[in-house]
Structure 1
Amino acid sequence: MLERRTLLAATAASSLLAALRAPASAAPAAPGSEGARLTAIYERIYDMLVDQDPEFATALGLDKGDRAASKAKLADRSPAGIERGHDLYRTGLKELKTIDPAKLSGMDLVNYETFRDPWEHYVKAFDTFDYGLHSWPEPHPVTQLSGTYRSIPDFLVNQHSIANAADAEAYLSRCNDFAVQLDNETGRIKADHAAGIIPPDFVVDRTLALFDNIWKPAPDANILTTNLKTKTADIPGDWAKRCAAIVEGKIYPAMRRQAAELSAVRPRATHDAGVWRLPKGDEYYAYALRFATTTGMSAEEVHKLGLDRMAALTARADSIFKAQGMTKGSVAERMRELGKDPRFLYPNTDKGKADLIAKLNEQIQEMQRRLPEAFGRLPKAKCDIRRVPPEIEAGAPGGYYQIPALDGSRPGAYYINLRDTAENPSWTLPTLTYHEATPGHHHQIALAQEATGIPRLRRLPAYSVYTEGWGLYAEQLADEMGVYENDPWGQLGYLQSYMFRAARLVVDTGLHHYRWSREKAIAYYNDSLGTPEGSNVTEIERYCVWPGQATSYMVGQTRWVAIREKAKAALGDKFDLRDFHDTALSAGAMPIEVLAGVIDRWAAAQKA
């Protein structure tokens, strides 16, 4: 999925600086040059990617014109379809090996470095592991957080636009294909289960409970049907009736077949939480860490970073609590007490949830006013705030971001999980908004999409360590911009967010490398963070099925800050924060060490 998963010289100094600071106006590589050949490779791979994945085309707003037929299809989740996805990387790597990097400079060199080494690691993993490499290291295709059963309804409701009868027919066609892809996926998990690739028992239980919730409504009350009914109110036709028939006759039966396979394998599931229990499990986790961080950091190094950051952040939070007169108990106990304070809780009602979202909109508007302090370029695309669909909120994370359509037909969206407003005290909300919306994910991803001086493939939100690292860096930036100047409670929310991400380093490596139990990881969160135990359980179970992914946030943030501070030290009074941000964001997402090289060259050009 696109948010967090896929794709992933003194004489040239002045031209490099211009290219990095404003790629929208960068000159194209000379025809016939090595840079032009590289760009042509990326453009072909991009077109192949869009043609191969109809959902990707819709996400980008490209299911029109010559690609209009793709709007009636879903991505192929059969083994053959997944292999075609792997072959795309093999093709890209083979073509990149024909490029001579010694003949590249400026943005062309950045473009080359962005994909060359990662694709090498991806292809090696495809040849090493027989499971868990659909779009990122995810050992089980169907869990409480992954699977067609939950992703396609969300996709059809929030991304499939309906303006006429042809769009409605395409929607129905996709509903038919939904059942096909469910069965394709069921075939995959059957093969995995036969090979001993079985989710932990608690994952199976959580997933089966979600299935029960999804098919509980009658077919005419299913979200797919009610969504189509709403969107076709002014389009003649028996759309809802036809959709309900597909839900009843095809989708629900396919879901029950998938759930039946999970139920059948449940007696064989163990309670072990880490991927070490799987074939080549230790190698798989090492790959997952490299995939997530784009570095060679070992599990031991990641674990230590988490412990060190937790100690420093806890001490900082302690000092703020003491300044506010809260001195008794551990920091986690005081966080827990603050989380239950009625002053900061929204009622767990429809009105309370509407008021919460209204407050988030106010926070975005206030941050928009401040952005010119830290950025020269601002995105054109807007960002909506939406509630995570109730059908999937039980297993969903607290918040996430959906990219805007390239043609402007759909804005970016920041989703917040409102299953229980007690999980979102008001003092925790600003930093989540700054992470998911602006100056976080929306700001960074929309700017990359709007750049025109880099290949289209480079405008995608690849590399979690860059995108999630930026999201977490954006939280720190908001603090540096003074948003909590008169709000110690909001600053505690920011620090708790950072503690939460630092703790992820500890528990992710704990689960998958040090062989912690699920319960030990939950206890660590309960003892360290003060967040509600229910949300802690959800988070720990997330790390069990998405190994390594959660490490990208804090690893990325520490690298973003280190890169900035190195540039500040090199430039002294010449350092300009706006230029730094514009340079780092204008070049598109990339491995974190490639970003370090970009900023090193920018700083050298600035100094000269």
Structure 2
Amino acid sequence: MHHPLSTPVSRRQTLATLGAGAAGAALTRPAAALQAPPQDEAGALLASVADHLLALSPEGATALGIDTGDRAAMRGQLGDRSAAGMTAVADTLKADLVRVRAVGKAGLDHKTRTSLAVVDSAYSVALDGFAQPYGDVAVGGWRNTPYVVIQNVGAYLDIPKFLDSDHPVRTPADAEAYLSRLNAFPGVLDGETERLKAAAGQGLIAPGFLIDKAVKQMEATLADAKAGGGMVDSLVRRTGEAKIAGDWNARSAKIVQGPVAAALERQLAELKAQRPKAVMDAGMWARPHGDEFYAWALRASTTTRMTPDEVHAMGRDQLAELHGRMDPILKKLGYTQGSVGDRMNALAQDPRFKFPDNDQGRAEIVAYIQTWLGKIRAQLPRAFRTLVKGNVEVKRLPLAEEPGAPAAYGGAGSIDGSTPGRFWINLRTTDLHSKYSLPDLAMHEAIPGHVWQGEYANQMPLIRTMLAFNAYSEGWALYAEQLADELGLYDDFEVGRLGYLQSLAFRACRLVVDTGLHAKRWTREQGVDFFVKENGSNPIEVASEVDRYCSWVGQACGYKVGHSEIVRQRDRAEAALGAKYDLRDFDDIVVKGGNVPLDVLAQNVDAYIAGAAA
């Protein structure tokens, strides 16, 4: 996952300006489209749309490495997470969508038409989200949630991690900008706290088990702030490394131990006040306006109009097909008794594939990932005509984030390459990982998955780098896993192929469980049991997985829907082109066409087929 990938504050997510409000409005296409502007006029429009969106997300500008020059002031700012901030986002989208829809398409090249279609899709779906009575809306991102602050959502998680991993400290001005952001942090927290109260006033309160997790994590963030830990340490360490003179310890500690800690206490008090009113029902069906919110979140996540019932059925069908492929491999490995799920549970206990649960084991995991990244790098010229660098760093997640975070996530680095892409790995226990599942995870999060794809996106017009679609991002990362298998990486390591197939089966389970929780009234326990029994998934991992679906509503459905569609488009291209089909050309079209909704992906493949057939 990206990830979240941040919550993953990946560069994708920092750009997913969060928010909600009832500011959305139905937008209609102007009856008479204006005369087609020349190519450069459309380019200038797209550039101004990007600037307007970026102005709402200073963290996004920093993550992309473009908070310089005219944008230098953004390095000391944070996005506004208050109700007023959400209204400002919705108003900006509304105005710019009208401008984009007024452009005549005749005479524009395919790339520019694609960019306009991408903005139209991202903005119109986001505005439908802002029309919901509550929640955070990711604009061209994946983290839509009904809950403003919960175990994997909120500034209390995002900002400390962002300051440490994305905010640069190379000059005295950078260090001052860091302090400026610390000063802005209490206001950001209070803006969220007000929205938390407003949502509770509408009857929206998160499930009790999520609040319990969030309270524990916020208490950890608060204890750290009171002790003058993480956020202070990060600045002191890095100013020291860069030899920047100044009393950074005392200046940052004063802000963190004072106003930041006080704002965290206010937010924590509100969560604790909501806990007695919380129910343990996991899904949106149990929340006011929940069915409508879920329908929107599913559309945003999959970029399709699939219903919960259709998604649920697709998950069950694909799970059966994947288990049919896993069965003979398990038999070959000597696992012959019981269901595929039972046998995968037994395999997970096999000492041959485990790492020691200590710091030595953690180091072994990182080294093992590097080995597999080396193997896939050697094969990529067989799958792509146009190669990017694949600039990636493998990093352990911050300890405070590990309990509520997924097993891993990743995303590309800054546009200029000065900040590498990151593959964040959760090492709270080495039992989260096995020797047969890690190779596949590396393909998904890093190369040729999220980090690789993001480097192509970084070469596009700024608005295209900023707007991402969950079904494409996650569909591509699953397709990257499939490429590794097709390129022969598991030919002499068949248990690795089993890890890959289990990963796909896990995503098929997600379709079943997400819709089960939110539309079919499943309990949290039913969700966990389905994974463990049907797919042999790790119970430690799936407990936080299921919790994630309860808060990042619908997000888990984007993966398999996106993957299935990319594979369907590839089959279509191969059938249409016959001998003229080449895997390298197809893969280039998909990554170089940028991050798109699935209907736009089909149009890009249409153009490829037409061009190659000619």
User: Which TM-score bucket, shorter chain as reference?
Assistant: over 0.9
**Residue in 1 aligned with 2:545?**
539
Indicate yes or no: 2:586 matched with 1:577. no
CA contact (8 A) 2:411 2:445 kept: no
Give the aligned partner of residue 399 of structure 2: 390
Partner of 2:177: 170
Aligned ranges for residues 496-515 of structure 1 at < 5 Å? 496-515=502-521
SS of the residue aligned with 1:400? strand
**Is residue 2:70 matched to residue 1:61?**
no
Match of 1:158 in 2: 165
Conserved? CA contact 2:14–2:59, under 8 Å? no
Shift of 1:116: 2.1
Q: Please name the residue that 2:341 is paired with.
A: 332
Question: CA 1:510/1:4 → structure 2, altered by over 3 Å: closer, same or farther?
Answer: farther
Question: Following TM superposition, by how much is the alpha carbon of 1:314 offset from its aligned partner in structure 2, in angstroms?
Answer: 1.2
Q: Trace 1:191-270 onto structure 2 (pairs within 5 A).
A: 191-217=198-224, 219-220=226-227, 222-233=229-240, 234-270=243-279
Q: 1:406 to 1:6 in 2, by over 3 A?
A: closer
How many angstroms apart in 2 are the aligned matches of 1:446 and 1:467? Answer: 12
Which residue pairs with 2:433 in the alignment?
424
State the shift of 1:246 in Å. 1.6
- SS of residue paired to 1:414: strand
User: Which has the higher mean CA deviation after the structures are superposed, 540-549 or 99-108?
Assistant: 99-108
**2:59 alignment partner AA:** E
Amino acid at match of 1:87: D
Alignment of 1:64-463 (within 5 A): 64-133=68-137, 135=139, 136-217=143-224, 219-220=226-227, 222-233=229-240, 234-380=243-389, 382-451=391-460, 455-460=461-466, 462-463=468-469
1:99 to partner: Cα distance? 1.6
Paired residue type of 2:270:
E
2:94–2:127 contact (8 Å) kept in structure 1: yes
Distance 1:529 1:581, change over 3 A: same
Assess, with a 3 A threshold, how the Cα gap between structure 1 residues 244 and 317 changes in structure 2: closer, same or farther. Answer: same
Q: Work out the CA distance in 2 between the residues paired with 1:91 and 1:290.
A: 23
What one-letter code is carried by the residue in structure 2 that aligns with 1:256? E
User: Is the CA contact (8 Å cut-off) linking 1:225 and 1:244 kept in structure 2?
Assistant: yes
Q: Identify which range, 276-285 or 193-202, moves more after superposition.
A: 276-285
**Which region of structure 1 is more displaced relative to structure 2, 80-89 or 132-141?**
132-141
CA distance in 1, matches of 2:346, 2:468: 38
Structure scoring higher RCO (CA < 8 A, sep ≥ 6) equals 1
Deviation digits for residues 432-484 of structure 1, max 9, x if unmatched?
00000001111111112124xxx321233510111110001110111001000
Q: Which residue of 2 aligns with 1:474?
A: 480
Q: 1:511 to 1:416 in 2, by over 3 A?
A: same
SS at match of 1:380: coil
Kindly report the root-mean-square deviation, in angstroms, between the aligned alpha carbons of the 2 structures: 1.8
User: Residue 320 and residue 351 in structure 1: after superposition, are their counterparts in 2 closer, same or farther (change >3 A)?
Assistant: same
For residues 588-599 of structure 1, the aligned pairs below 5 Å read 588-599=594-605
The letter for the 1-side match of 2:524 is: R
Tell me the residue number matched to 1:28.
none
Alignment pair present for 1:33 and 2:37:
yes
Q: CA deviation at 1:594?
A: 0.9
CA shift, 1:164, in A, is 1.8
Structure 1 position 309, deviation (Å): 0.7
d(CA) in 2 for partners of 1:47, 1:76: 16
Aligned CA distance change for structure 1 residues 151 and 449 (closer, same or farther; 3 Å): same
In 1, are the aligned partners of 2:115 and 2:464 still within 8 Å (CA)?
yes
**Structure 2: any 5+ residue segments left out of the alignment?**
1-8, 18-34
| Cα offset, 1:330, TM superposition | 1.9
Instruction: Please state how far the C-alpha of 1:280 moved relative to its aligned partner.
Output: 2.0
C-alpha change, 1:500 and 1:300, in structure 2 (3 Å) is same
Tell me which of 530, 535, 539 is aligned to 1:529.
Answer: 535
- Partner Cα distance (2:245, 2:16) in 1: 41
Shift in CA distance, 82/562, structure 1 to aligned 2, threshold 3 Å: same
On the 8 A contact 1:399/1:417 being kept in 2, the answer is yes
Of residues 219-228 and 393-402 in structure 1, the stretch that sits farther from structure 2 once superposed is 219-228
Q: Offset of 1:332 from its aligned partner?
A: 1.5
Tell me, what secondary structure is at the counterpart of 2:144? coil
Q: CA deviation at 1:4?
A: 5.7
Partner of 1:13: none
Gaps of 5+ in 1: 9-30
Aligned length: 583
Which region of structure 1 is more displaced relative to structure 2, 502-511 or 47-56?
47-56
Equivalent residue, structure 2, for 1:17: none
Write the letter of the residue equivalent to 1:568.
E
SS in 2 for 1:215: helix
Q: TM-score, normalised by structure 1?
A: 0.93
Which shows bigger deviation, 378-387 or 473-482?
A: 378-387
Does the CA-based 8 Å contact 2:121-2:597 persist in structure 1? no
Which residue of 2 is the match for residue 23 of structure 1?
none
Deviation for aligned residue 1:407: 2.0
Counterpart residue type for residue 98 of structure 1: A
> Which amino acid in 1 is paired with 2:159?
I
Residue 428 to residue 109, structure 1, CA distance change in 2 (3 Å): same
Distance 2:37 2:16 in 1: 25
| 1:279-330 superposed Cα distances (whole Å, 9 cap, x missing partner) | 3211111111110111111111111110001101112111110111110222
Q: Does 1:566 align with 2:572?
A: yes
Q: For each residue in 1:349-381, what CA deviation from the matched residue of structure 2 results, as whole angstroms up to 9, or x when unmatched?
A: 222211210111121122111110101111235
Q: What is the identity percentage for the equivalent residue pairs of Structure 1 and Structure 2?
A: 40
Residues 524, 74 of structure 1: alpha-carbon distance in 2 compared, 3 angstrom cutoff: same
